[in-house]
């Protein structure tokens, strides 16, 4: 992805990049960000008259590089990988409050259940053989259900998605979004 710079619409002294960076136009120096407790980046942009404005970097990047319109109090901008310091354009998407609650619930409860499972077997001749397999797991109501052990990650993911669809009547959130 090539780095693209655009002038901030409401403050012509700064530019924002699709990589989540902000810089002064005058001397091309990068702006330092303040990191909030939740990991989000906050930029302090000053105007010519001396006033300053705080703005979340992911909102600044989204509004300048995505063509989607954001309706205040209805839409939220989310990080697809849940890493709030990754403000690159492909990592940002617009969601409603209901979508966000469902995403965070699924992320927090680790409903994405493909895990690596290794086991070592000692053969009759004394040699050790290690098997690396993948386990598909569904978690719901604080209970864990193992769907099986598989040789490839793809097979385990397929079993997980079909089990999820059967249990909840819909595909996992990430599959709906095509991410």
The DSSP letter of residue 87 is: -
Rounded-to-integer distance, Cα 162 and Cα 179, Å? 17
Give the pLDDT confidence score for residue 114 in this predicted structure. 66
Q: What's the pTM? A: 0.58
* Model confidence at 8: pLDDT above 50: yes
* Model confidence at 148: pLDDT above 70: yes
Instruction: Identify the band that residue 62 occupies on the pLDDT scale cut at 50, 70 and 90.
Output: very high
Burial code of 101-139, b = ≥16 C-beta within 10 A, e = fewer?
eebeebeeeebbbbeeeeeeeeeeeeeeeeeebbbbbbe
Q: Per-domain residue ranges for the chain?
A: 5-106, 114-177
**What share of the chain has pLDDT > 70, as a percent?**
87
Give the pLDDT confidence score for residue 176 in this predicted structure. 45
* Model confidence at 177: pLDDT above 70: no
DSSP-assigned letters across all residues of 37-82: TTS-EEEEEE-TTS-EEEEEHHHHHHHHH--PPPPTTTEEEEETTS
Structure token digits, residue 169: 């009547």
pLDDT tens digits, one per residue of 91-135: 898 988 888 787 776 665 544 566 666 677 777 787 777 777 788
Residues 6+ apart with CB under 8 A from 115: 134, 135, 137
**Pick from 146, 21, 38: which is nearest to 88 by CA?**
21
Residues 93/77, Cβ–Cβ less than 8 Å: yes
- Window from 13-17, 47-51, 133-137, 175-179 with minimum mean pLDDT: 175-179
What pairs with residue 94 in β-bridges? 77
Q: Which fold has domain 5-106?
A: Homing Intron 3 (I-Ppo) Encoded Endonuclease; Chain A (3.90.75)
E strand or H helix at 107: helix 97-108
């Amino acid at each position: 992805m090539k780095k693209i710079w655009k002038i901030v619409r409401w403050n012509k002294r700064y530019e924002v990049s699709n990589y989540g960076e902000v810089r002064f136009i005058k001397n091309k120096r990068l702006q330092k960000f303040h990191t909030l407790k939740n990991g989000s980046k906050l930029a302090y942009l000053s105007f010519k008259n001396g006033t300053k404005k705080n703005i979340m970097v992911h909102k600044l990047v989204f509004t300048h590089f995505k063509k989607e319109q954001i309706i205040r109090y209805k839409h939220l901008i989310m990080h697809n990988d849940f890493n709030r310091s990754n403000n690159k354009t492909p990592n940002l998407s617009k969601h409603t409050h209901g979508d966000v609650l469902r995403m965070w619930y699924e992320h927090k409860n680790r409903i994405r259940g493909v895990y690596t499972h290794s086991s070592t077997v000692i053969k009759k001749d004394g040699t050790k053989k290690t098997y690396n397999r993948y386990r598909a797991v569904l978690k719901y109501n604080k209970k864990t259900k193992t769907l099986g052990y598989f040789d490839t990650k793809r097979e385990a993911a397929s079993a997980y998605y079909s089990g999820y669809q059967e249990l909840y009547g819909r595909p996992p959130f990430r599959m709906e979004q095509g991410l």
